[in-house]
Amino acid sequence: MAEDALIVVDLQNDFCPGGALAVEGGDEIVPIVNRLIEDSRHVILTQDWHSAGHSSFASSHPGKAAFQIVTMSYGEQTLWPDHCVQGSRGADFHPDLRWTTAELVLRKGFRREIDSYSAFFENDHRTSTGLAGYLRERGISKVSLCGLATDFCVAFSALDAVAQGFSTSVVLAACRGIDLNGSLAAMTRRMHDAGVQLI
Ligand code: VGL
Ligand code: ZN
């Protein structure tokens, strides 16, 4: 039977107001996401889960500041403030998120030398997280995405999901973006052009 799943991306303290990499209005989506969770048969959460001293942290690059771009072995990488460090309070899910029915919590970005925006592939676009195989083995062919941030982890997850053959939608009212140098408009267009349904 064709099943569908809701994927809630990175709804963690560090991406909400007061957090280390706060997304404006990030906390406002929690009640909307909770309703989506209630209405979904299968719920998957992603959790940004960085080792201390992660290579995506500006603090790991002497002389560099957050939001600058550096070239890594796998291509361009935006540098971020230290965030979602494994086991920290900032890495916890927002306290009001009703996540108990989630069937899978997929952690990503744990390898120090590579970042992972997408829930499917790390930022080299080759190293798999295993999520596509998990979904296929469970007969899930359709995914809806929501969470933070629209223009980074949600967008890259959605682009990989369609590329992997999943029928893919993004619930924009249940997302908030970072919008770095026009990234929100650019990534929204990329999702649209790739065949992601924007709801
Ligand atoms: C994210 C930047 C760094 C996200 C994660 O969840 O969109 N953005 N790590
Ligand atoms: Zn991160």
* pLDDT tens digits, one per residue of 126-173: 999 999 999 999 999 999 999 999 999 999 999 999 999 999 999 999
Percentage of the chain beyond pLDDT 90 is: 99
Instruction: Work out which ligand 1 atom sits closest to the CA atom of 80.
Output: 3
State the pLDDT at residue 2.
82
CA distances from 4 to 47, 100, 105, 166 (A): 20, 18, 16, 10
- What average pLDDT does this structure show over 65-78? 97
* Catalytic residue, candidates 146, 153, 160, 175: 153
pTM of the predicted protein model: 0.97
Between CA 109 and CA 159 the distance in angstroms is 18
DSSP code of 109? -
Catalytic residue status for 153: yes
Q: Is the pLDDT of residue 102 over 80?
A: yes
DSSP strand pairing (43-48 vs 3-9): parallel
State the pLDDT at residue 1.
61
Between CA 126 and CA 141 the distance in angstroms is 21
1-45 pLDDT, tens digit each: 689 999 999 999 999 999 999 999 999 999 999 999 999 999 999
For ligand 2, the distance from its centroid to the CA atom of residue 62, given in whole angstroms, is 19
* Catalytic residue, candidates 48, 108, 115, 151: 108
DSSP code of 33? H
Nearest residue (CA) to ligand 1, atom 8:
152
For ligand 2, the distance from its centroid to the CA atom of residue 182, given in whole angstroms, is 19
Residues in contact with 136: Cβ distance below 8 Å, sequence separation at least 6, in sequence order: none
Best CA proximity match to 83, nearest among 148, 144, 145, 131: 148
- Residue to mutate (ligand 1; options 57, 107, 148, 170; most atoms within 8 A of CB): 148
Q: Measured from the CB, is residue 80 less than 6 Å from ligand 1?
A: yes
In 68-110, which ranges are E strands? 69-72, 75-78, 104-108
- Do residues 50 and 86 lie in contact, with contact meaning Cβ atoms separated by under 8 Å? yes
